[in-house]
Every structure is written in C-alpha cells, then in structure tokens.
Amino acid sequence: MQNLTNQSMISSQLTKVNGSSLPSDAAPVLKETQPQSLSVEYVVLKTLFFAVIATTGLIGNGLVLATVVRLRKVRAPCDLLVASICLADLGVSIVAAPLRIFEVYNGLVIGEVMCFILVPLQDVFASVSVVTHTVIAVYQYRAVASPFDAKTSEKKVKRYLVVIWITCYLTTGASIMFFLSYDPLKGCHVTFASGTHRMWYQILLVLSFITFPLFIQCAAYVGVICKLRAKNAFQQSHRLPNRISDERLQQSKRLVKILMIMLIAFNLCYLPRGVIMMIKQFAPRASSSVEFGYVNLITLAMFYIKSIINPFILIARSKRFRSNLRVFRRQ
C-alpha cells in the first residue's frame, strides 16, 4: 500500500498540470506541462540543469557567432547558415532557459507584455533551427551536384536568412499569440477554443516543422552521399592526376560529415519531444503513467541539450573552425 502511495505521488508530480504551461522553444506543438507540487530535489535539479544550459549555450554559441562575425575574410556562405542556428540556440540560452527557471518558482507571472514577447520567441528559435538545417541540406546537395551553378554569394545567403527568420516568426511566433492569454495570478498560458482546434494546430506544426523538413533533409543528404561516391569512383577509375580536384572533394566530404553530425544530433534531441507530445494528444491514458512521466522529463532535457551541442561538434570535428578560433583569440 505504501509503495502504491509513493508511486501515485511520483506520477502526480511528473504529470500533473497547472493553469499555465510554458511553450517549449520547439514550436507550440512541443508544450511542456508544469507539476503542481514540486519536491525540493526536482526544483534544485531543474534549476541547475537550466542554469547549465543557459551558461554553456551563452558561452559556446556566443563564441561561434563572434568568430563568424569577426573573421569576415575567411568565412564561407555556409558559415552564415551555421551561425543562424547558433543564434537561435543563443536565444534559447538567453530567453527559454531562464524562463524555465523562473517558472519553477513563480510560474509564468512575467507581465502581459513579456508574455506576448518572450513566449512566442521560444517557438521562433526552434523553427529557425529546423528550417535552417533543411536549407543547409539542400545547399550542400546543390553544391555537390552542380558546384559551379550552386555558388551563392554572401549577400544572397543573408537575404535567405532574413526570409527564414521572418517566415518562422509569422508561422510560429505570431500564430501562437492568437492563443496566448495572461492572468495576473495564473500567469501566461495557451488556451484553445476546443480540443479539436488544439489537435489540428499541433498536427499542422508537426507536418510543417518535423515531418516535411525531415523528409527533405534525408533526401538531400542521401543525394549528397551518392554524388560524392560517384565523383570519387569517377576519379579513381580514370586515375585523374588532379590534386586540386581531389583536395576539393576531400574538403566537401569533411564539410558534409560535420553538417550531417550536427543534423543527426539535432534530430536525436528534437524528434523524441515531438513524439511525446503526439502521445499526449492522441493517447492521454498512456501519458498518465509514472514511466511516461520520466520519459517526458528525459525528452525535455534532450530537447534543451540540442541548443548547446553545436559548438562542441565544431571544435571536435572542424579543423577550419579551430584555426579560425585561434586567429580570433589572437585579435
């Protein structure tokens, strides 16, 4: 009987919902619920976790951005796309992680103005990451398939990035404002007219920011791998003594590996959260178990870890980034 009581308390703590839920920074489909009764251990662990996310993300992503901005002469157009992802991750560190900590102690009683500014921004940051990863995949396919036709100027990439950020704001940030409401006592929360409206809203976001981008990413990188293998086989079969061409091919392979690692790491952290939220929507009974509560917390942690991993990947895998970083430190 005592075990059942303890199990019930754990389940309540992991799955109970109060009047306000903080939209995660991965589009409103990835909403997280907040326990009503919090143990001291939960509060301390959650505070420490998001403090680490905020600090590490601020330092790591800030360093990447500073390196790209300062070293204009040696940066490539693709560097700007990677910088856009790091900028979105930096936003998670500055906005989303501190809000999570604040939520533990005060809910989302942040004021009406901050409610309509900060909460939508979290969704914008995640959607920008998804779309930019997809654009990078297509960009790499064009660069490998048609290297001369695919050359893109830095100005054009900057225009692409402006379009990406504006589009993501209008489709995720601005759209969630229609469902946001603020109560001085309960704080900031999302309210849908009915369960059906919420369901279709989440389905649309899953298709737009998970299913469709993932299909494009996979198709593009499969095409990249096939093209690189074909080029490598052609050079070996014809024994072309072109050292410059061989070096370019090797550089393309290294760049594709780094970008694929970043994409795989991103999706490993991002996709489980979408699956969890769909289970909550379509199988509420299954989502009420203690085990599901623990899985829910794990996927939430993974979701935020994605915002700090790119600087580590670049430092570990990119000689060019390490070289640029040393130059930046000397300046």
- What are the residue ranges of helices labelled H in 146-194? 154-168, 174-177
Residue 80's pLDDT band (cuts 50, 70, 90): very high
Please state the rounded mean pLDDT for residues 290-298: 86
Task: Report the distance separating Cα 96 and Cα 32, nearest Å.
Answer: 12
Confidence bin at 15 (pLDDT 50/70/90) = very low
Phi, psi of 183 (to 5 degrees): -125, 130
Judged against a pLDDT cut of 70, whether residue 33 lies above it is answered with no
Q: What is the pLDDT of residues 247-274, one digit of tens each?
A: 777 778 888 999 999 999 999 999 998 8
User: What are the tens digits of pLDDT across the range 133-176?
Assistant: 999 999 999 888 877 665 678 888 999 999 999 999 998 888 88
Higher-scoring residue by pLDDT: 276, 244: 276
pLDDT at residue 95, as a whole number: 92
pLDDT of residue 5: 39
| Beta carbons within 10 angstroms of residue 246's beta carbon | 13
A 10 A CB-CB count for 168 gives 24
The b/e string for 127-146 (b: 16+ C-beta within 10 A; e otherwise) is: bbbbbbbbbbbbbbbbbbbe
C-alpha to C-alpha distance for 101 and 193, rounded to whole angstroms: 29
Tokens at 251, concatenated:
């550089």
296 pLDDT more than 90: no
CATH number assigned to the domain with residue range 23-330, chosen from the 4 options 1.20.1070.10, 3.40.50.2000, 3.40.50.300, 1.10.260.40: 1.20.1070.10
Scored b (16 or more CB within 10 A) or e, 10-19 reads ebebbbeeee
pLDDT for 8: 37
Residues 230-239: what's their mean pLDDT? Answer: 72
Sequence spans of domains, the chain: 23-330
Confidence of residue 192 (pLDDT cuts 50, 70, 90): confident
Q: What is the mean pLDDT of residues 277-282?
A: 84
**Calpha distance 200→217 (Å, rounded):** 24
**Range 186-196 average pLDDT:** 80
Task: Categorise residue 27: left if φ over 0, alpha if ψ from -120 to 50, beta otherwise.
Answer: left
Residue that the structure tokens 């704001």 belong to: 169
Q: Which residue has the tokens 């699956």?
A: 275
What is the three-class DSSP state of 275? Answer: helix
| 66 dihedral zone (left: phi>0; alpha: psi -120 to 50; beta) | alpha
Q: Which residues contact 81 (CB under 8 A, 6 or more apart)?
A: 132, 135, 136, 139, 157, 160, 161
